[in-house]
Structure 1
């Protein structure tokens, strides 16, 4: 499956992971049932899947306040992605 994945241009050019490094492999791990390994690979995988599920559902079911839910999920994902990135980079520096 790895031969079909897109390479990280940031890692190829600069040798440093980007904020999304590991997302593709984590998604494959989720589909294979390796849930803990997927979380270790990319901690925001589950909140991103929840966001995508909400966005797809919201295409058909509209309700009052859905904008706030979208913004909250997006901010939660951003915090997890950035936090996990700095956590990962702190171990690479040490």
Structure 2
């Protein structure tokens, strides 16, 4: 795993801390643990899939899905980051 430079320098988690471990947990099939590690993983994966599909094929409502998953991902990342800061 790559170390977090922000955590090493300042001692605080960054908004992306936990993403690598969450992906690893998903590969192991531990979905609940992956969610607890980094909740936005379940919106980022469909977002990446839709972005790729929208580049290959023009999806009719692709932009709406991209906007929706993007807003959800940012909201989950910020909420998770604020919870980590408060604890």
- TM-score past 0.5 threshold: yes
Cα offset for 1:67? 2.1
TM-score in terms of structure 2 length: 0.92
- Asked if structure 1 preserves the Cα contact closer than 8 Å seen for 2:18 and 2:38, the reply is yes
Structure 2 residue runs without a partner (length 5+): none
**Runs (4+) of structure 1 moved beyond 6 Å?**
none
User: Does residue 52 of structure 1 match 2:48?
Assistant: yes
What pairs up with 1:26-41 in 2 under 5 angstroms?
A: 26-41=22-37
TM-score in terms of structure 1 length: 0.86
Larger Rg: 1
Q: Which has the higher contact order (CA 8 A, sep 6+)?
A: 2
- Asked if structure 1 preserves the Cα contact closer than 8 Å seen for 2:21 and 2:37, the reply is yes
Question: What CA distance in whole angstroms lies between the structure 1 residues aligned with 2:21 and 2:3?
Answer: 11
Cα offset for 1:69? 2.0
Structure 1 residue runs without a partner (length 5+): none
Question: What CA distance in whole angstroms lies between the structure 2 residues aligned with 1:63 and 1:52?
Answer: 14
Q: CA RMSD in A?
A: 1.1
